[in-house]
């Protein structure tokens, strides 16, 4: 079982999972990096540093800026083209979840369970929450939405922190300590609840539709754990995502209907474009499926056991980061290695993100690197 499992209740279960994590000492060796034939061109265009990052960071692109944060409470916005700081602030505590932003207001959650909102780097309000949060807040429609590890969803007024509504649904006690699904589609809030995706009215907190991506199976809570892993990959109204160690599938948010689902292990989010959904399984075997049908297009074992990040589609390539800070550019149509670019040698900690054709990656050591293909 992956180490990123958190018990919402029960210390005995936490201890048992810690013991299981210790069994991973004999994990397979990572695949050696092979020379690349006929590589494409790409280059680093700027870099900067912030504090280390050990929480499930979400980097958000708004208005030509990258919004990001670090463990030590730093939250900042960087110009995507130049890397220059637009603003910087500090929330006065170590961060457990973030960043969420609408381009003006930014929100994070601290390890002391405080939801903190900033305006251009200045803290405007903070609020104590009832449970820990690891999924980045969503800021939209003058509201801040959060989902705790207890799977309870809350909505707050972005201006003053007034609680607007709370949505609580029954579910298993066990949940993941990694980012879940919290997104928006038109006037619907999308929330992962275990292996189910909910379409929620953002004004009232009522459920419009409820769709299961998969049906968890197992003899105990650990084996049945199949929480949806974020961020989802969106094309139009279709959101594709992973159910932890269980399946990959797509849901149409316009109707709340399941498009397709295919069995498949893995712990990181999926990526892709309007043609393919790409993901890596628990051994970092990469698979590309046709977005329309879920049919398998290709698989690759080039990067086995390299602790791959979630991928991002860039032009005709798909890009993964690994445990050594290497960026791997693979062809989308066949999985062929086309380019490899280094960072600082530490693990790529967040899914790579794009602003136009500028690709940003953040490493565990706090390195922030921007690249462009040529």
Tens of pLDDT, residues 319-337: 999 999 999 999 999 999 9
Q: What is the mean pLDDT of the chain?
A: 92
Q: How far is CA 76 from CA 52, 81, 99, 348, in A?
A: 14, 15, 9, 19
pLDDT (0 to 100) of residue 17:
36
Q: For a pLDDT cut of 70, what percent of the chain falls above it? A: 92
Cα–Cα distance measured from residue 287 to residue 221, given in angstroms and rounded to the nearest whole number: 28
Element (H, E) at 97: strand 95-101
Cis peptide before 99 (omega within 30 of 0): yes
pLDDT at position 10 over 70: no
What confidence tens digit (pLDDT) does each residue in 169-216 have?
A: 887 667 778 899 999 999 999 999 999 999 999 999 999 999 999 988
pLDDT (0 to 100) of residue 273:
95
pLDDT at position 25 over 60: no
- pTM of the complete model beyond 0.85: yes
Lookup: tokens for 346: 């530490």
Task: Provide the CATH topology of domain 56-168.
Answer: Lipocalin (2.40.128)
Cα–Cα distance measured from residue 210 to residue 255, given in angstroms and rounded to the nearest whole number: 10
What confidence tens digit (pLDDT) does each residue in 51-66 have?
A: 999 999 999 999 999 9
Dihedral of CA atoms 323, 147, 89, 126 in degrees, nearest 10, equals -150
Lookup: tokens for 209: 């539709």
DSSP assignment of 311-364 equals: -EEETTEEEEE-TTS-EEEEETTT--EEEEE--SSS-B-S--EEETTEEEEEBT
Q: What are phi and psi of 248, to 5 degrees?
A: -125, 135
pLDDT (0 to 100) of residue 172:
67
Q: Where are the domains of the chain?
A: 56-168
pLDDT (0 to 100) of residue 2:
42
Across 113-126, average pLDDT: 98
Work out the pLDDT band at 20, boundaries 50, 70, 90: very low
Across 125-137, average pLDDT: 97
Report the alpha-carbon angle 97-193-101, nearest 5.
35
pLDDT (0 to 100) of residue 170:
80
Q: Which residues contact 172 (CB under 8 A, 6 or more apart)?
A: 194, 221, 224, 225
pLDDT (0 to 100) of residue 23:
43
Going by C-alpha positions, the residue among 137, 72, 129, 126 that lies closest to residue 102 is 137
pLDDT at position 237 over 50: yes
Element (H, E) at 15: helix 11-21
Q: Is the separation of the CB atoms in 71 and 54 below 8 Å?
A: yes
pLDDT (0 to 100) of residue 26:
74
Across 282-301, average pLDDT: 97
Work out the pLDDT band at 8, boundaries 50, 70, 90: very low
Lookup: tokens for 95: 């961060």
Cα–Cα distance measured from residue 107 to residue 87, given in angstroms and rounded to the nearest whole number: 14
Work out the pLDDT band at 5, boundaries 50, 70, 90: very low
What confidence tens digit (pLDDT) does each residue in 254-290 have?
A: 999 999 999 988 999 999 999 999 999 999 999 999 9
pLDDT at position 13 over 50: no
pLDDT (0 to 100) of residue 12:
26
């Amino acid at each position: 079982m992956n180490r990123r499992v958190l018990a919402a209740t029960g210390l005995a279960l936490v201890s048992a999972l810690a013991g299981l994590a210790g069994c991973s000492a004999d994990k397979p060796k990572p695949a050696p990096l092979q020379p690349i034939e006929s590589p494409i061109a790409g280059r680093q265009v700027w870099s900067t540093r912030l504090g280390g990052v050990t929480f499930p960071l979400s980097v958000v692109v708004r208005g030509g800026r990258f919004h990001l944060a670090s463990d030590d409470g730093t939250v900042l916005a960087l110009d995507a083209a130049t890397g220059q700081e637009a603003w910087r602030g500090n929330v006065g505590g170590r961060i457990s979840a973030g960043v969420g932003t609408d381009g003006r207001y930014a929100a994070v959650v601290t390890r002391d369970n405080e939801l903190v909102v900033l305006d251009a780097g200045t803290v405007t309000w903070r609020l104590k929450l009832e449970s820990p949060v690891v999924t980045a807040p969503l800021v939209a429609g003058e509201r801040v939405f959060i989902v705790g590890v207890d799977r309870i969803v809350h909505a707050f007024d972005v201006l003053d922190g007034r609680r607007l509504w709370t949505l609580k649904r029954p579910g298993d006690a066990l949940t993941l300590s990694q980012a879940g699904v919290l997104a928006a589609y038109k006037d619907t809030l999308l929330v992962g609840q275990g292996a189910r995706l909910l379409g929620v009215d953002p004004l009232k907190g009522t459920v419009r539709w409820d769709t299961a991506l998969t049906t968890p199976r197992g003899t105990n809570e650990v084996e049945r754990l199949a929480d949806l892993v974020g961020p989802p990959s969106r094309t139009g109204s279709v959101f594709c995502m992973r159910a932890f160690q269980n399946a990959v599938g797509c849901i149409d948010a316009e109707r709340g209907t399941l498009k397709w689902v295919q069995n498949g292990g893995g712990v990181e989010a999926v990526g892709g474009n309007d043609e393919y959904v790409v993901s890596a399984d628990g051994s970092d075997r990469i698979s590309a499926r046709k977005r329309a049908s879920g049919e398998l297009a290709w698989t690759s074992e080039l990067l086995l056991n390299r602790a791959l990040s979630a991928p991002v589609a860039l032009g005709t390539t798909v890009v993964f980061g690994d445990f050594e800070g290497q960026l791997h550019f693979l062809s989308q149509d066949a999985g062929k290695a086309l380019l490899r670019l280094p960072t600082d040698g530490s693990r790529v900690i967040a899914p790579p993100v794009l602003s136009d054709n500028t690709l940003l990656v953040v490493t565990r050591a706090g390195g922030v690197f921007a690249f462009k293909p040529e």
